[in-house]
Structure 1
Amino acid sequence: MTVEEALLFIDQLFEQRCFSKVEEIVFRQVWEGRSYADIAQASGYDAGYIKDTGYKLWQLLSTALGQKVTKHNVQSILKRVALKQRESNHQRNEPKSNANSWSYPPALSNKVDWGEATDISVFYGRINELKTLSQWIVDEDCRLVTIVGIGGGG
């Protein structure tokens, strides 16, 4: 797995969150085996800031992957999780559009609990708008739709 493949895999883990510039610098440089001090010197950032960014990054990945991720084991863990995912996909005989395509680890594909969200099982009018929303979400696999307007405006 290259650093680019690892970043693509991580992008899929965090659909709604992208690495900041500093996080990506830390990730890429750690992947290459560089120390925080070396990263700070090469990037022009304070060493403490780089170390703190790395710590938060490993915490984020640890939570997402369900196992402790550090700068020393990030490569092996990502490779192992991606390999397990690819084997799982292969066992289910899912067609792959790209040999290097990575997808979510099984633990991250759970449904979201909407809790106390308003029940909208009955929706009056706006048939064209409903069709458009349905097309975006179902057919075009849109990940985020925002509906804005004056409250009570229907």
Structure 2
Amino acid sequence: MAPPDSVNFILLDVGLQLVILALRQGLLVHRTLESLLDGREVVLQWRPEVLDLPMFCATTSKGESLLRQNPMRDHAHRAYLHKVATAAGLDGELYNITGYCMRRNFATRAEQGAGDSFTRAMMGHMDFTRTLHSSYSNVVGTTDLTALMIHGEQKQGGLLHPLDSPTLMR
């Protein structure tokens, strides 16, 4: 697949979405975008009083206010993700965006960088199961086999699994 050809794909950048939500909800030490952009931190700091609150909060029945102590229900999260994906032009059968595409992408990238044991631990998989490789990680599918066979080097070719979202590969 080609790189994103529209800024709308930014809507599905998970890290950016979390920063936007955190700023809007006042969860960061930085209270404004200007303050955040002027900062020099490498790691963003959460306000201590919000560390035990859910990132995705439930809302009142008409969505007029947040129920800060209650996590968003699964069906509401799926509807939110679908709405964001549609706004980014990623709707229809070709782009079935779910939370699992983010989980699969995480598994592939974590295994590339940190290996099996770490990735299994992060994902809550037992050491003796094949769940990581059968359902999540696509390290083999993204490996440049030509470079491996000719040069003896394991390089990632950046190939996409059909269930991965293009913008989540950054």
Structure having the higher strand fraction is 2
Q: Which has the larger radius of gyration?
A: 1
TM-score range, shorter chain: under 0.3
* TM-score of the pair, normalised by structure 1: 0.27
TM-score normalised by structure 2 residue count: 0.25
Give the structure with the larger helix fraction.
Answer: 1
